[in-house]
């Protein structure tokens, strides 16, 4: 049986390359139709449109995977007919009328003080605080590269609301990062529980579990793909 396509959606402060290690693991598992969206992080609508366009180009079923804010993107974009499953990796999974910012306010993350706006309205993780905030279980060198190459979102994107959450209509899987300093683990637990996912796993990892625990992340994506095949 042929494997479905996998579309990977990054979050704030990163780009498609944050999936690098997970891509290698998925390839080893036999996934040849792999895609990683490069979202502009200028608004939820812009990011959803970019993701929908990529998914719409694919013939056949798609497993749509979101990390961090990418979870909000797949929640809004995932109702396309060829999306067979949703996988959330330490991600936002807002309900209708909710935004990532509203969820964050319920349980502010440990590193919230390390996020700073610039004069153009973009939000940055303070570079010398990036490693300890975002990816403390990666090497210092990896943290440095992520800090220097971070992709800042427009701050207004935090307040963009979901309309019709795809996780209410599609089978979903969720990975919680128990040492996450960017999205509070309490928020991840609450979001995952109300989704009634097919499976939830908890990794003792930072927010960057897609990079620090790529084998486990790829295995969860593989399980979603096999279950929906």
CATH 3.40.50.1820 is right for the domain spanning 5-108+157-228: yes
Tokens at residue 155, please? 């701050």
**Residues 82 and 168: beta-carbon distance below 8 Å:** no
Radius of gyration of the CA atoms of the chain, in A = 16
User: In this model, does residue 87 exceed pLDDT 90?
Assistant: yes
The pTM score is 0.97
Dihedral of CA atoms 58, 165, 161, 76 in degrees, nearest 10, equals 0
Domain boundaries defined on the chain: 5-108+157-228
* Tens-place pLDDT, residues 177-212: 999 999 999 999 999 999 999 999 999 999 999 999
Q: pLDDT band for position 1 (50/70/90)?
A: low
* Tens-place pLDDT, residues 9-58: 999 999 999 999 999 999 999 999 999 999 999 999 999 999 999 999 99
| Share above pLDDT 90 across residues of the chain, in percent, rounded to a whole number | 98
Instruction: Tell me the angle at which helices 214-228 and 20-28 cross, rounded to the nearest 10 degrees.
Output: 50
Q: pLDDT band for position 228 (50/70/90)?
A: confident
């Amino acid at each position: 049986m042929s494997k479905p396509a996998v579309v990977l959606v990054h979050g704030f402060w990163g780009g498609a390359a944050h999936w690098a290690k997970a891509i290698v693991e998925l390839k080893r598992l036999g996934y040849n139709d792999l895609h990683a969206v490069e979202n502009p992080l200028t608004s939820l609508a812009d990011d959803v449109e970019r993701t929908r366009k990529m998914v719409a180009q694919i013939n056949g079923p798609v497993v749509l995977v979101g990390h961090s804010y990418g979870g909000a993107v797949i929640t809004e974009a995932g109702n396309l007919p060829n999306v067979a499953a949703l996988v959330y990796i330490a991600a936002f999974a807002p309900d209708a009328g909710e935004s990532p910012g509203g969820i964050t306010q319920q349980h502010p993350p440990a590193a919230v003080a390390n996020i700073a706006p610039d004069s153009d309205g973009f939000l940055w993780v303070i570079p010398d605080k990036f490693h300890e905030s975002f990816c403390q279980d990666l090497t210092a060198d990896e943290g440095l590269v992520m800090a220097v190459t971070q992709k800042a979102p427009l701050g207004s994107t935090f307040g963009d609301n979901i309309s019709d959450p795809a996780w209410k209509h599609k089978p979903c899987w969720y990975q919680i990062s128990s040492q996450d300093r960017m999205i509070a683990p309490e928020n991840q637990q609450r979001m995952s529980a109300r989704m009634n996912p097919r499976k939830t796993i908890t990794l003792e990892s930072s927010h960057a579990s897609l990079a620090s625990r790529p084998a486990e992340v790829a295995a969860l994506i593989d399980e979603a793909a096999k279950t929906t095949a």
